[in-house]
Structure 1
Amino acid sequence: MSFKLIRFLAILISPLLLSACATLPNLAANQLGPEILTDAGTEALYYSPAGPSEKATQEQIITGFLYAGNGPQDDYAVAREFLTASFSTKWKPSAETLIQSGEAKVISNTGTKIRMEVPFDARVAQDGTYEAVPKSSRFIEFRLLQVSGKWRISAAPNLTILLRPNFGLLFQPVSVYFWDQALTHLVPELRWFPTKGALATRITNALIAGPSPWLEPAVQNLLPKGTKLNINSVTVTAGNAEVDFNAVALKMPTWKRPYLRSQLLATLSEVTGIIDVTISIQRTVQEIAIGSSGLSGSPSNLPVVLTKDGLFHIAGSTTFQINDTQKPVQELDAKGFAISEDETFLALLGDNTVHSYTLGLIGVKDKLVDSRSKLLNPTLDPYNQVWTASAVKGADIKIIDKAGGLVVIPNPYGSGSAIRGITMSPEGSRLAVLHDYYNRSTVDIFPVVRDKTGKVTGLAPRYPLTQYGNSATAIAWVDRVTLAGLIKDKAGVQSLLTTMVGGDSVAGRTTSNGLAVASSIGGNHFYLDSNGDVFASKRFGWEKTLGEVLALRMAGQ
């Protein structure tokens, strides 16, 4: 069977054939396994792979098994039908998912052992964490034997393999939230799980297990070590998620429990239909008060622009001036800015100087916060602290609060690198940095380490966003988990790229001489070019909306 099987497997795994699985047939409604939904009519149609036929050949067993990896329902029950009875209970398909990036190759075939090489550009671990690994490959091996005259797989890797279009259909990104050290803001970490694979149960277990190592210095896990679900299931009834912990959870102090409820509610609200949470311990419902949500309100979807006359919101070609901004902008001859989400706190960039301003009924209060050379556009955090950086190689990052308190953080890249841009995430726990390194640029996320009062004490090691390659020119936050950036390809063509922190990226339209980018929740993108023109994304391309603009960004960044 060697030549026939090699050819068959090559066709099976080829992108040409499997790309058709991006429109998986909606054959039947299926149950969710350990996740229990008692509401009628909540199940969506879902792809159901076929099990092995009575006289399936070796070729059909291998191909059927690989196709069955597209059906995660009932813990990949159909895929397990292709395995021997003893191996079926040992196989762990959720241990890893490879996102295939090219045609797989059969390396060897001895009749009962097939070895393949699979190219992939990303992987998802059992806990739902996503890792971009461009141009990677993996050797995998299958062993077959006959059981009562029927071919079955007796050994296979603990993983599934999907093309990216299939992955986008079968897996869902969800934000698992953790409190920052000051118990002021919830910080999201993106995880990926099968859309119909006991989603509420999976993300609750992810919350219990805690944050990934890269984010851990910036957040805390409220649950005592050893906490588990009492039974490995989250029941959902009439929009209410019932979470039952084991007895270890009793160790949590009463005052912390409202924070846990808010954390669970924010996380489980990622599941369609869940609007409330009930917490039990050993089947005893806990009466827990409603605490802070930990999530800021929705910011304005209107970008803010800086002109010689002040700061303005723009809606199409119409502008709305932000009060109290004209005078400080003109006095400083401002070139850049950052403004708080509530528009009461402002930082302006002048010539080698950054000033902060308190806006409101009591008038405008001006404070010099930095006077280094080659200063970059500042950024703000939710504590109304101004973050400044300089393009001088090795220059420190400075954080200045309203009272004038100063924290200095050494350049995280060392003395040989120059920072080109900084922007703070909405909750203030992740700093995105664009920097130059040996004639190339990279984009990284640095977790912000704070004490219990919210004071910054340092930056944790970087989490690289490799999707931006080596040629990013501008970055900005879109929402809590997404960044937008302008990148150039090898031919020098600039374009928009949006990237999920802990997820994949989406290439956007080409841009021309873009200097800055701003994106609103919902996917509206804007960019500022070197001529001072602002362009907005429309259905069929970019449309110029405003001219004579000095800087562009969203409030709260």
Structure 2
Amino acid sequence: MSTPQRTPHKVRPRASADTLRGPHSPLVGSLRSGLGRLVRMLLALLVVAVLAGCAGLPTRSGVKAEQAISSSPVESPPNVFPNPPQPGEGPRELVGDFLKANASPDEDYRVARLYLTSAASNTWNPTGRSTTVTTGEQDYNIVETYDGPVQVTGRALATLDSNGHLTQLRTHEKIQSGFHLAKVKGQWRIARLPRDFGSWMSLSDFNRLFVSRQVYFADTSTHALVPDTRWYLTRGGEATALARAVLGGVPSWMTGMAYRSMPPGTRLEVDAVPVDNNGLAQVDLSQQALQADSTTRRAVWAAMIQTLDQLPQVRNVELTVGGSPLAVGTSSEDITDISALGYQSHTPTNGPILIRNGDTLSWGNPLNTVGSPGPIKPLPEARASLPTLNHNWYMLAAGPVGRQLAAISGDRKSLGRWINGKLSVQSFGTGLTQPTFTPFGELWVAGRPLSETGPAPSQNGGAVWVIDTALPAARAQPQVVSTPWLGSSQVVAMKASAEGERMAMVVQTPTGSTRLLLSAIVRNAKGVPVALSTPQQEGLPITGMTDVTWLDPATVAVLGIDPTSPVLQPITVPLGGVSTPLGLAPGAQFIVGQGAGLSNVYIMTNKQTVLERSGQRWQVFGTGSAIVVPGA
């Protein structure tokens, strides 16, 4: 049956062929005679021969332990052709070459399987087990043992589980595996792999083969779409893998979110998501999907659109059962984006910011030249008038359009709220954090609650409060949300995500160590926040963290100490990725981002100055002492 053409979600520019090719040799380009053509042919043959010979070379020549894991999509990763086993290879050489070959997943690791016996190959499932990202072959130590396995040790940077979740390790952890060998027709082969062995690959191989994608899940109470970072092979089949991930349900850290899953047993009917020449991805589901109610159908369809929309070849998404569009209460012809399903995408923009100079607040434009914030001329719309703040209030936050402001007192024992310029003060804890707003009219703050028997701080650990800003100030009391996982630890910084469904937190343990945690906001049937889910830890190697902000929907930044430097500095932390220092920012105290990447991120210093990033450096931004991003 023919598929009607749809209005595309987007049109993406494609990389030109020139961007995928290396530069031409000037010498060859200047040869125009018959002799020149002959030389070009000989050079081409020589290049092919060199590349073929390089296939067996170790990858360590270009690998450095400090290299970052890249999240940038690779449209056409270069092919690497590993060598098969060589006749007469000894045990050490065989195992070493197998570890090189297992970084080539082509044809279900066809070459790597040549190093195994038939029985070992039948039991090895590298895609169903974890992948270990190592510092490279230069750190492998391969030792033969008498009448035992060949032992290999190395250094690991991160691990990737079978669901595509990457975990950065605290240090370059030592890893060890034993490989049992046997002779097959006079040649050594690996007869038994370690029970949990998936694959080892260097950082450069990982960056060549994998790309990070966001798998979205729909919150039916707020109609927001919440991302979870996964890593996938770039060798094709991404649409199928992403669709399976959406159907697979939320990760553990999203447990408690108002999520609707398809009925049990729902799967891809043919385990494939074809994309036609018009960019239409057809997700054909099994018959169980027909048992889902319309709310669930809309939620899953919206999540599929947002997830598959990341692929450059996809322009529209259709959910079908048996080839017929899945009914959601509206014509499938009208579903060209998530808004047709009642969902919305929260895309941060480089909108106006608030600049503090002493007691004065003013609107500023982040798009002006570096170091010259200046006023907005003209204002794109009416902006709220701003109150005067005395020096006792700091750690400011602003609602989406600036009509509500919140700040913490100098002793961090009181929360001040300015509603249309009028101040109200509430005291309910100590060590209060900088407040943070969500798009749903919620104001969040953390700290240590006061004792129930008096004004002294409670000894029962930290707490997190939420305030409904839609209520009159006199009635808008802070409500404690459930955080049993916090124990005796305390939140020292927190920031809500742009879509208002996630909370990034810096948590300090009783021993003084810090952790970067990511929780989902759990709401009751009325949409009222009641808890923060059991969190997922990010940025494990970073210590001494003091503040956190969002750079984009999949990346946060912290002020902390990276293992490569003992000095507090801003560090980017891609969720489900590997952290990268941003360079020293002297005197850094607070960090704030607009959610649009590194182009608009600011550092507040202990010298009452603001720094912004310019290239690889931090330099003074205008004359302000603090920056406030409305809605953050």
Relative to structure 1, the CA distance from residue 78 to residue 320 in structure 2 (aligned partners, 3 Å threshold; closer, same or farther) is: farther
* 1:354 counterpart residue number: 415
Q: 365, 369, 375: which is aligned to 2:432?
A: 375
- Partners of 1:327 and 1:116 in 2: CA distance: 64
Shift of 1:53: 5.5
CA contact (8 A) 1:468 1:487 kept: no
Q: Which residue identity lines up with residue 281 of structure 1 in the other structure?
A: V
Structure 2 residue aligned with 1:176: 215
Q: Please tell me the residue identity of whatever aligns with 2:199.
A: T
1:235 aligns with 2:268: no
Q: Which residue of 2 aligns with 1:291?
A: 341
What residue identity is the alignment partner of 2:443? V
Structure 2 matches for 1:35-184, cutoff 5 A?
44-52=76-84, 55=87, 57-58=89-90, 61-94=94-127, 95-101=129-135, 103-110=139-146, 113-135=149-171, 136-157=173-194, 158-184=197-223
1:328 corresponds, among 359, 364, 387, to 387
* CA deviation vs aligned residue, 1:95-115 (integer Å, no higher than 9, x gap): 210011472333543478312
CA deviation profile, 1:425-473 (whole Å, cap 9, x unmatched): 1222222222333233332223221123321111222322243533012
| CA drift at 1:143 | 3.0
> Which stretch of structure 1 is more off in the superposition, 245-254 or 346-355?
346-355
Q: Which amino acid aligns with 1:141?
A: G
TM-score, normalised relative to structure 2: 0.74
The aligned counterpart of 1:467 is 540
Q: CA deviation at 1:219?
A: 4.8
Find 2:463's aligned residue among 392, 396, 419.
396
- Cα deviation 1:461-500 (Å, max 9, x = unaligned): 2322243533012211111121101113687522221112
The answer for the alignment partner of 1:531 in structure 2 is 607
Question: Aligned pair in 2 of structure 1 residues 82, 165: CA closer, same or farther (>3 Å)?
Answer: same
Question: What is residue 581 of structure 2 aligned with on the other side?
Answer: 507
- Per the TM alignment, residue 386 of structure 1 is displaced from its structure 2 partner at its CA by 0.7
Separation of aligned partners in 1, 2:114 and 2:201: 19
Could you tell me which of 344, 348, 373 is aligned with 1:318? 373
Structure 1 segment 346-495 matched on structure 2, within 5 A: 346-350=405-409, 352-357=413-418, 364=420, 366=422, 368=424, 370-372=426-428, 373-390=430-447, 394-401=461-468, 402-403=470-471, 404=476, 406-409=478-481, 416-437=488-509, 438-467=511-540, 469-488=542-561, 492-495=566-569
The one-letter code matched in structure 2 to 1:338 is A
Residue 623 of structure 2 corresponds to: 547
- Alpha-carbon distance in structure 1 between the residues aligned to 2:541 and 2:602: 18
The separation in 2 between residues aligned to 1:89 and 1:455, in whole angstroms, is: 51
User: Superposition RMSD on alpha carbons, in Å?
Assistant: 3.3
Conserved? CA contact 2:126–2:198, under 8 Å? yes
TM-score (norm 1): 0.84
The answer for the alignment partner of 2:454 in structure 1 is none
Give runs of aligned pairs for residues 21-40 of structure 1, distance below 5 A: none
Q: Tell me the equivalent position of 2:43.
A: none
Instruction: Report the CA distance between 1:17 and its aligned residue.
Output: 4.5
Q: C-alpha separation between the residues in 1 aligned to 2:258 and 2:582?
A: 32
Identity %: 21
Flag structure 1 segments of 5+ consecutive residues without an equivalent.
Answer: 1-11, 24-41, 359-363
Question: By how many angstroms is 1:253 displaced?
Answer: 1.3
Larger displacement relative to structure 2 (520-529 or 55-64): 55-64
Cα pair distance change 1:230/1:413, threshold 3 Å: closer
Return the offset for 1:19: 1.8
The CA deviation at 1:93 is 1.0
Distance across 2 between alignment mates of 1:414 and 1:292 = 35
How far apart in 1 are the matches of 2:180 and 2:213? 35
Question: What displacement does 1:123 show?
Answer: 0.8
Distance 2:316 2:477 in 1: 41
Once the 2 structures are TM-superposed, how far is the Cα of residue 202 of structure 1 from its aligned partner? 1.6
Amino acid at match of 1:471: G
Give me the whole-angstrom Cα distance separating, in 2, the residues matched to 1:69 and 1:470.
34
- Richer in strand (by share): 1
Measured after TM superposition, the shift of residue 379 of structure 1 is 0.4
Secondary structure of 1:478's aligned partner: strand
Is residue 77–residue 209 contact of structure 2 (8 Å, CA) maintained in 1?
no
- Structure 1: how far apart are the matches of 2:483 and 2:319? 44
Question: Which AA in structure 1 matches 2:360?
Answer: D
Aligned partner letter, 1:134: R
Bigger Cα Rg: 2
Q: Is the 8 A contact 2:548 2:557 kept in 1?
A: yes
Match of 1:200 in 2: 239
